[in-house]
């Protein structure tokens, strides 16, 4: 992408290619460890997969709708605000996904109630540490994306959003892992739809009154409500 100087089109192509390459590598690794296709197609038990997958699809759509709405609201404030929003979102998502590994561990250790409490504490501690690290280094990270002074000035206003929301992000991913570990897919999906609807409504209102900061506030509320929904269960 960088060598051929393809710009936005190159970014799209490289993103799609990375997904295909990652998928093929995972299939290749799984094929070495397990039988992916049984002798009889009836043994695949599609019914259970479709049921669980349907709930997860609804949950994913709720997340993507809220995130896409945030991007749409940011775009309405102009190209500078949009560029700043994308930088903040990329850092925010990249760091948040680091804690997603704890969610996978939570699924593996769900049988022990002690491990459940331990992983909540680990998630919170991880989020706090990431908050401190990002609070100090976010300004330098932003310069990796652009040298435009106007964009960087707006990006700096998002430091609080990117860093302070990390404890919420970490706990939200932990709760996701715990729900998946006990196959509580209906609650995970329905609660996400409700949280997404509330957060989206607030996001639209806050964006019209507080600008880009309102968008970030709405996304922070989205993650906080995910934590509340997970803890209630």
What's the confidence (pLDDT) of residue 120?
56
Domain assignment of residue 51, yes or no: no
Structural domain of residue 110, as residue ranges?
Answer: 65-232
Judge whether 57 lies within some domain. Answer: no
CA distance 166 to 128: 7
The pLDDT assigned to 9 comes to: 81
Identify the residue with better confidence: 169 or 41. 169
What would the pLDDT profile of 94-127 be if each residue is shown by its tens digit?
877 776 666 565 555 554 444 445 555 555 566 5
Q: Going by C-beta distance under 8 Å and a sequence separation of 6 or more, which residues neighbour residue 92?
A: 161, 162, 165, 169
Q: Which residue has the tokens 């699924």?
A: 107
Name the pLDDT band for 213 (thresholds 50, 70, 90): very high
- On whether the CB atoms of residues 56 and 179 are closer than 8 A, the answer is no
Residues 87 and 170 in one domain: yes
Domain check: are 116 and 24 in the same one? no
8 Å CB contact between 230 and 175: yes
How many angstroms separate the CA atoms of 155 and 227, rounded? 26
Residue with the bigger pLDDT between 189 and 174: it is: 189
What is the structure's pLDDT at 90? 86
Q: Specify if 104 maps to a domain.
A: yes
Q: Is the pLDDT of residue 162 over 60?
A: yes
- Mean pLDDT of all residues in the chain? 80
State pLDDT tens for residues 20-65.
999 999 888 888 887 776 666 666 666 666 777 788 888 999 999 9
Looking at the domain assignment, is residue 58 inside a domain?
Answer: no
CA distance 1 to 83: 19
CA distance 217 to 222: 9
Position 85 in a domain: yes
Residue 11 pLDDT: 80
User: Is residue 144 located within the same domain as residue 225?
Assistant: yes
* Percentage of the chain lying above the pLDDT 90 cut: 30
155 and 223, same domain (yes or no):
yes
Using an 8 Å Cβ cutoff, are 69 and 197 in contact? no
Structure tokens belonging to residue 103: 């969610």
E-assigned strands of the chain?
Answer: none
User: Is there a domain that residue 96 lies in?
Assistant: yes
Which comes out higher in pLDDT, residue 3 or 27? 27
Range 155-182 average pLDDT: 81
Q: Do residues 128 and 181 share a domain?
A: yes
Q: Are the beta carbons of 153 and 122 closer than 8 angstroms?
A: no
205 shares a domain with 103 = yes
> Is it the case that residue 5 has pLDDT exceeding 60?
yes
Q: What is the pLDDT of residue 124?
A: 58
In a domain, 52, yes or no: no
Number of structural domains in the chain: 2
């Amino acid at each position: 992408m960088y060598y051929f100087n393809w710009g936005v089109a190159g970014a799209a192509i490289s993103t799609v290619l990375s997904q295909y390459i990652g998928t093929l590598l995972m299939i290749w690794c799984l094929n070495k460890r397990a039988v992916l296709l049984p002798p009889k197609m009836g043994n695949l038990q599609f019914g259970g997969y479709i049921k669980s997958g349907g709930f997860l699809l609804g949950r994913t759509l709720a997340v993507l709708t809220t995130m896409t709405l945030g991007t749409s609201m940011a775009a309405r404030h102009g190209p500078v605000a949009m560029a700043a929003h994308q930088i903040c979102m990329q850092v925010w998502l990249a760091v948040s996904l680091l804690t997603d590994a704890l969610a996978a561990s939570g699924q593996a250790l769900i049988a022990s109630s002690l491990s459940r409490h331990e992983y909540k504490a680990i998630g919170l501690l991880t989020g706090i540490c990431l908050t401190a690290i990002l609070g100090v280094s976010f300004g330098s990270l932003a310069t990796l994306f652009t040298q435009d002074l106007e964009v960087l000035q707006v990006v700096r206003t998002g430091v609080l959003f990117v860093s302070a929301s990390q404890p919420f992000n970490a706990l939200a991913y932990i709760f996701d892992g715990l729900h998946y570990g006990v196959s509580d897919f209906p609650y995970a999906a329905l609660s996400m739809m409700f949280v997404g609807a509330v957060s989206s409504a607030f996001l639209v209102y806050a964006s019209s009154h507080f600008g880009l900061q309102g968008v970030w506030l709405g996304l922070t509320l989205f993650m906080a409500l995910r934590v509340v929904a997970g803890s209630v269960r």
